[in-house]
Structure 1
Amino acid sequence: MKKSGWSTDEDRLLSELAAAAERSGGSLSGVFREAADMLGRRPDSVRNHYYAMLRESGESAAQFRPFTKEETERLVSHMLRRKAEGCSVRRAALELAGGDVSLMLRYQNKYRSLLAKKPRLIDEIAESLDLPSPSAPESKLCGAEPLDRRTLMAMLEAKNAELKKQHERFMLLHAMFTKLCELDRGLIAGFTSSAEAAQLQKLIDRISAGMK
């Protein structure tokens, strides 16, 4: 019968068999066969799960030991509290490990594994501590409230009114420049030299072209 999903008891049994084999000098292949017989699983499935647990914990084969329920809850509680205070996952894990880098990696990997595989557990512990859950939407974590339709419409109307005023000012300036450009060329020539009049007219023409 094919089985999937591993329980905490199965993980503990597997780690105990591996630890016993380590003490007696036995092989891991023998552990996998023995665990497969006891759990009704295939040896290769046991082997794959064992090494997956090692990768998750960041430990070597001789170091691996599953987290107990109490250890898991303590880990998550600590991480959530420190995260709520602005601490990084790595720093929080290092604090819990008392500066032990190897243990810090174990805590860090376990916490991230729980976030990915058991978000409901994280949510439950966060709720019991009255802390925001990492799985909550960012707007909730930041205390932001979603905008309703009425508020959005009011914001759009205010922006539209502002743009309308800007357009009216632009049109007024355009009209002023248009009037300036319509000045009689003879009037321009009357108070400036011909060269200055030509330069002024070019400037007016450029301004007029740019306003269209």
Structure 2
Amino acid sequence: MRVLIAEDHEELARTVAAGLRREGMAVDVVLDGEAAIDRASANRYDVIVLDRDLPGVHGDDVCRALVGAGDPARVLMLTAAATIDDKVTGLGVGADDYLAKPFAFAELVARVRALARRAQPALPPVLVHGDLRLDPAARTVTRAGRRLALSPKEFAVLELLLAAGGAVVSAEQLLERAWDEFADPFTQTVKVTVSRLRRKLGDPPLIETVPQAGYRI
């Protein structure tokens, strides 16, 4: 899952980003409205956490721009104002959800995950392939009843492959969906991560490499 945080309070933005990364998400951060629009046009995000009171381009206008451009990302709007009128206005400009500051981090995570599920075709709560089970909410993976210790990136790659339902997922798609903007597209990071994941999944092998195309379960 890839998330963009648009929040002008830099310390809050970095803290939230660090927390979401610990939850296994790929996170980018911008500090003003113009940068939010630019970043959303350059990358595909599942969820955009958008402060309503951004400098430069106001959060409402950012939201309108995203909706007008047909951006598929779901928008969680953050604001210090929590009146009904504020919520109605925020939802009226295209936000999918609304969260007042201060907020509990656990609630933010739950709302981001809920919005991400709505940003793609509906998936079952637990992804299963043979004796392999991946629970996105509990952040657990088991094979033949044995729990596997996966890194956040290994978990993200496996989740994307299982969600594809047997379709091929390219290395570029994996890099875009599981890593943030600082990932070097010319490195072997996807190949290395898939290799480690294969070893942890064990036999019989589950991940197939499709030459010149990518990977599939």
TM over 0.5, yes or no? Answer: no
The TM-score bracket by the shorter chain reads under 0.3
TM-score in terms of structure 2 length: 0.24
Q: Higher RCO, 1 or 2 (CA under 8 Å, sep at least 6)?
A: 2
TM-score in terms of structure 1 length: 0.24
